[in-house]
Structure 1
Amino acid sequence: MNFTNGKQLLDLCNEHKLPISQVMFTRETTYLEQNPEQVFKKMEQAYTIMKQAIHRALTEDLISMGGMIGGESNKLHALRMEGKNICGSLVSKAITYAIGVLEVNASMGLIVAAPTAGSSGVIPGVLCAVQEEYDLTDAEIIQSLYTASAVGYLITRNATTAGDEGGCQAEVGSASAMAAAAITELRGGTPSQCLDAASFALINILGLVCDPVGGLVEIPCQNRNAMGASNALISAEIALSGIQSVVPIDEAIEIMYRVGRSLPMSLRETAQGGTALSPSACSACRSKSIKQTF
């Protein structure tokens, strides 16, 4: 059982009456000839690391290597605990956890690059928040990670998840699409709805540039992970309502890739454009003794 694009994936789901997660798991264990128990244990370990990263961010005082971020997740957590958050519980948790994972990443902690280090907070943030809000088991969340993996595979197979190739839309955008599909399946969505959610997520932030201040995965990356988490939730809710994406996932992936390749190099992870050239950002770099790349 194998697929290389979204249409083939949906055909397999319909033919075998299986969710995306099961088709992806079967691909890993049959087409790629991997041991089913080992495949599950690897995904279980990945989710354990995701949860540990969130816990560490909320229980330790972390400062990034560049010194520009650290402690933001605790501030968001405190705001929610005080009942002063604007977003509802689910969204507030998701953005708090997403930001926290980026703190762990930037402080050289252990994270899961899902699909990249710069976008590593989106999937953990969303799935851990959804698990808590809907009282889901680890096994259910781990299963949904195969749905996320299927979307990630489609993007890497047919486009890119690298910021230096496609901008932040290829990193946070891809992570957001992966998370959106996973949430949709968790909440009872069909395979078609899962891929519609992924398409919505990609199109919603089409053209997002990669402009890290000082060339570090700190600012504006951290806040963009929070945005990616909220975008995933929005996209999943739209798809679950029955709204269909006019743009199929295969076209959305192709469009994202073409747009990314059209971005000037200054906006593709070189720290030579966008937010990286803000006078205040440059001043912050100098105050932290960060060697800039421009």
Structure 2
Amino acid sequence: AAYAMAVLETNASMGRIVAAPTAGSAGVIPGVLLALQKAKGYSDEQLKRALACAAAVGYLITRNATVSGAEGGCQAEIGSAAAMAAAACVELEGGTPEQCLNAAGNALTNMMGLVCDPVAGLVEVPCQKRNASGAATALVSAQTSLAGIGNLVGFDQTVEAMYKVGRSLPFELRESALGGLAATPDACAWCESHMCGK
């Protein structure tokens, strides 16, 4: 969680990050991989292989659905990042390609329906904390798959379902900053006092 949130903190302070798959979800994959490297001693070469696995999952989601919060809600951003990180974790742990896809599907399932509601249109609130949650979801999804628990619905159909859910979300819940947390009285008051110089 700390690593994942640190990436968004770096982004907010105009530091350099890698949009993986987006700037708003950029903390999930490094959050998971750096924590696993520290805890289990994985080499940089092993992390490169895991990143290649994550990239393959990200490609499939991008090709067949979306990773854009404006198009598919936060499920498309954080959900996709969690799916990528879950597959990478399984790859690190020596799982099979089928287990990698099961882990990715688990993560997408657990994030399905998550709206994109950035306060003031920025990726600080609630995105930073969602990166931490996405990292935790990725790890649990990977552990579930590595334990041999399969999925009733396959990865490809899960991606398709996520895309359909995202397209059915109202405009206000797709990165417009007009719904969800962004439209609460506290968020609006903060915007007025910080964004307008009052």
TM range (shorter): over 0.9
Structure 1 equivalent of residue 109 of structure 2: 203
Structure 1 equivalent of residue 123 of structure 2: 217
Which of 168, 175, 180 lines up with 1:269 in the alignment? 175
> Cα gap change, 1:174/1:290 in structure 2, threshold over 3 Å: closer, same or farther?
farther
Which of 48, 54, 58 lines up with 1:142 in the alignment? 48
String of CA shifts for 1:199-220, please: whole Å, max 9, x gaps.
0000001000000001111100
* Structure 1 residue 163 corresponds to structure 2 residue 69: yes
Structure 2 equivalent of residue 175 of structure 1: 81
Offset at residue 134 of structure 1 (A) = 0.4
Structure 1 equivalent of residue 151 of structure 2: 245
Aligned partner of 1:127: which letter? L
Which of 14, 31, 40 lines up with 1:108 in the alignment? 14
How many residue pairs match? The answer is: 197
Which of 116, 131, 136 lines up with 1:230 in the alignment? 136
Q: Distance in 2 between matches of 1:124 and 1:247?
A: 28
SS in 2 for 1:207: coil
SS in 1 for 2:17: coil
Q: Distance in 2 between matches of 1:107 and 1:265?
A: 29
* Structure 1 residue 99 corresponds to structure 2 residue 10: no
* Structure 1 residue 151 corresponds to structure 2 residue 81: no
String of CA shifts for 1:22-57, please: whole Å, max 9, x gaps.
xxxxxxxxxxxxxxxxxxxxxxxxxxxxxxxxxxxx
* Structure 1 residue 192 corresponds to structure 2 residue 98: yes
Q: Distance in 1 between matches of 2:196 and 2:108?
A: 32
Offset at residue 287 of structure 1 (A) = 2.2
SS in 1 for 2:195: coil
Q: CA RMSD, aligned part only?
A: 0.9
Q: Distance in 2 between matches of 1:133 and 1:188?
A: 16
Q: Distance in 2 between matches of 1:241 and 1:225?
A: 24
Runs of at least 4 residues off by over 3 Å: none
Q: Distance in 1 between matches of 2:81 and 2:171?
A: 22
C-alpha contact (below 8 Å) 1:214/1:290 kept by paired residues: no
Give matches, 1:126-141, under 5 Å.
126-141=32-47
Name the stretch that deviates more: 281-290 or 260-269: 281-290
Q: Distance in 1 between matches of 2:184 and 2:2?
A: 26
Q: Distance in 2 between matches of 1:125 and 1:290?
A: 33
Offset at residue 106 of structure 1 (A) = 1.6
Give unpaired runs (5+ residues) of structure 1.
1-94
